[in-house]
Amino acid sequence: MEDTIFGKIIRHEIPSHIIYEDSDTLAFLDIKPISAGHTLVLPKKASRNLFDINEESAAALMRTIRIVTKAVKAVTNADGINVSINNESAAGQIIFHTHAHIIPRFKEDGLKNWNRDFSYKDGEAIDIAEKIRRNLL
């Protein structure tokens, strides 16, 4: 896999505001935050996104997300936290090394996650649920 800017951050070759580090994961402040405390958490082992991450890295990622999310909430006094992972450019991914965004949210902060103007036609939900079940690996 090609190296990314996050590879350089993992190797401490370029500076970042590191929040947490263990043998498998790293958390640091996003350089262009949505709000104060916006933190990125990533597994050190390179993977592009959730489509190719292995189970061990995914578990390590979730462990660190849990730890860091609680600290970010405590420090920012956020009313809530979004944890999001962008997978592929159509979903907003810019850096192709798996990472989760931990974003402090506040009542009335005006941020909109996404529109919900889609609805299933008759039978469509049953159909897609069945297809997805058949594709679980």
Binding-residue total with ligand 5GP (CB under 6 A): 13
Nearer to ligand 5GP, 94 or 137 (CB): 94
Among 92, 106, 126, 128, binds ligand 5GP (CB under 6 A): 92
Q: Helix-strand-coil percent breakdown of the chain, rounded to 5?
A: 30, 20, 50
3-state secondary structure of 41: strand
**CA angle in degrees (0–180, nearest 5) for 12-102-17:** 30
Q: Where are the alpha helices (DSSP H) in the chain?
A: 5-10, 55-76, 124-134
Q: Which residues pair with 102 in a beta bridge?
A: 39, 83
Q: 99 catalytic, yes or no?
A: yes
Q: Report the nearest approach of ligand 5GP to the CB of residue 93 (Å).
A: 4
Q: Which residue, 56 or 88, is less far from ligand 5GP as judged by CB? A: 88
x-or-dash pattern for ligand 5GP, window 40-79, by CB under 6 A? Answer: x---------------------------------------
Element housing 64 (H / E): helix 55-76
Of residues 17 and 125, the one with the C-beta less far from ligand 5GP? 17
Q: How far apart are CA 60 and CA 133, in angstroms?
A: 25
Catalytically active residues are 99
- Residues interacting with ligand 5GP, by CB under 6 A? 5, 16, 28-32, 40, 86, 92-95
